[in-house]
């Protein structure tokens, strides 16, 4: 049985990029394997964040997970900090990734560049270690993520290979990332040269935006010279981004989307993209609000933490034993 694991950080309001690149697809794995989806709240602490904002984002994310169609009977949904094995395994694994390789991580370079040296926390630097712990604790072989997280799954593979070579092939399971053919990197609507990102919002569509705001944002998205609706990332990044959003929500290929919009003017094209986004987000938002109001996410998170901890505990013991920590219970 394959094990699938992924997580999202509760660092801010979720964007359409998070939805298309990650969230929307998690439920697709429920039929084919054992799925673990968590809220990476310890990772959210790697940049300064207001405590109440973090707590609210955590509740929101739990409700978004459920609203996206994740079924707690099939998927284990939990908060990272409620399963202490993540932090415990992190303490061991941090000895097997090295300063040089960690300092080459794109995410670290981008996020630390915005801070003064004296404000860069160790957690931001060591981020991939904790992420590796998240993945290997559940013996996950498949990790669905957006493009920006591929490097972190790759460094997890390096770490797994390193440990297995040293302590035996069965110590940890080697994970693979899984990115979507369409929509692995949704760009800002106001500047299609940068990623739509929740912690540095610029031209973002938020999953909580009112529908009239969503429409307005799409109608005023940056477009490119010319008047043809064509996919050309280099010369038409704005149009290409909107085509990607459309194709991924309609679950069709870029070529099919292009064919559909042949002969369209930019204005009519944008209107149709907006219709598709609204059709997807409106019912999703209603489900989210209902779950948030009735707090049905709470028992799900409690049950999820219990189930996750049972599995994580077994892996932690296996690693502790492999590296030579004495088990005083036996």
Q: Which residue has the tokens 């949704």?
A: 186
The rounded distance, in Å, linking the Cα atoms of 184 and 146 is: 5
3-state secondary structure of 294: helix
Burial of residue 241 (CB within 10 Å: 0-12, 13-18, 19+) is buried
Question: Residue 242 or 319: which CB sits closer to ligand ATP?
Answer: 242
User: Would you call 208 a catalytic residue per the annotation?
Assistant: no
Decide: is 199 part of the binding site for ligand ATP (CB under 6 A).
yes
Residue 116 CA, chain-centre distance (Å), reads 26
Decide: is 239 part of the binding site for ligand ATP (CB under 6 A).
no
Burial of residue 180 (CB within 10 Å: 0-12, 13-18, 19+) is middle
- The one among 70, 127, 137, 146 contacting ligand ATP by CB under 6 A: 146
Decide: is 223 part of the binding site for ligand ATP (CB under 6 A).
no
Give the total residue count for the chain. Answer: 330
Name which of ligand ATP, ligand LTN, none residue 240 binds, using a CB cut-off of 5 to 8 Å depending on partner kind. none
The rounded distance, in Å, linking the Cα atoms of 209 and 268 is: 22
User: Would you call 170 a catalytic residue per the annotation?
Assistant: no
Residue 87 CA, chain-centre distance (Å), reads 20
Site string for ligand LTN, 11-50 (x = CB under 6 A): -----------------------------x--x-------
Name which of ligand ATP, ligand LTN, none residue 134 binds, using a CB cut-off of 5 to 8 Å depending on partner kind. ligand LTN
Decide: is 186 part of the binding site for ligand ATP (CB under 6 A).
yes
3-state secondary structure of 134: helix
Of residues 20 through 39, those in contact with ligand ATP by CB under 6 A are 20-22
Please, are residues 118 and 138 in contact by the beta-carbon 8 Å criterion? no
Question: Residue 20 or 135: which CB sits closer to ligand ATP?
Answer: 20
Strand partners, 206: 15
- The one among 68, 76, 156, 197 contacting ligand ATP by CB under 6 A: 197
- Among residues 9, 24, 111, 217, the one annotated as catalytic is 111
Question: Residue 184 or 319: which CB sits closer to ligand ATP?
Answer: 184
Question: Residue 9 or 215: which CB sits closer to ligand LTN?
Answer: 9
244 backbone dihedrals φ, ψ, rounded to 5°:
-65, -45
> Treating both helix axes as pointing N-terminal to C-terminal, what angle do 106-113 and 150-167 enclose, rounded to 10 degrees?
130
Q: Which residues bind ligand LTN (CB under 6 A)?
A: 5-9, 40, 43, 131, 134-135, 143, 145, 149, 152
Active site residues: 111, 195, 198
Q: Which residues bind ligand ATP (CB under 6 A)?
A: 8-9, 11, 15, 17-18, 20-22, 145-146, 148-149, 184-186, 195-200
């Amino acid at each position: 049985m394959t094990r699938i694991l992924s997580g999202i950080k509760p660092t801010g309001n979720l964007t359409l990029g998070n939805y298309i690149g990650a969230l929307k697809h998690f439920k697709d794995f429920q039929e084919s394997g054992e799925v673990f989806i968590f809220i990476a709240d310890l990772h959210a602490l790697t940049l300064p964040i207001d405590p109440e904002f973090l707590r609210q984002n955590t509740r929101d994310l739990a409700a978004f997970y459920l609203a996206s169609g994740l079924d707690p009977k099939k998927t284990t949904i939990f908060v990272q900090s409620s399963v202490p094995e993540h932090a415990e395994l992190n303490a061991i694994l941090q000895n097997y990734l090295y300063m040089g390789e960690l300092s080459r991580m794109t995410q670290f370079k981008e996020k630390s560049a915005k801070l003064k040296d004296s404000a860069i926390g160790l957690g931001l630097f060591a981020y991939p270690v904790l992420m590796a712990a998240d993945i290997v604790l559940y013996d996950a072989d498949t990790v669905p993520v957006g493009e920006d997280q591929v490097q972190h799954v790759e460094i997890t593979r390096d770490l797994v290979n390193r440990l297995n070579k040293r302590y035996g092939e069965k110590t940890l399971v080697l994970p693979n990332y899984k990115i979507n053919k369409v929509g692995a990197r949704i760009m800002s609507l106001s500047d299609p040269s940068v990623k739509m990102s929740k912690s540095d919002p610029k031209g973002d569509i938020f999953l909580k935006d009112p529908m009239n705001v969503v429409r307005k944002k799409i109608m005023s998205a940056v477009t490119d010279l010319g008047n043809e609706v064509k996919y050309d990332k280099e010369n038409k990044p704005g149009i290409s981004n909107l085509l990607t959003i459309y194709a991924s929500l309609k679950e069709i290929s870029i070529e099919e989307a292009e064919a559909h919009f042949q002969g369209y003017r930019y204005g009519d094209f944008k209107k149709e993209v907006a219709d598709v986004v609204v059709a997807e987000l409106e019912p999703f938002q209603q489900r989210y609000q209902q779950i948030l109001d009735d707090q049905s996410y709470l028992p799900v998170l409690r049950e999820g933490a219990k189930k996750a901890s049972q599995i994580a505990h077994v892996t932690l013991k296996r690693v502790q034993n492999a590296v030579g920590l004495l088990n005083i219970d036996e």
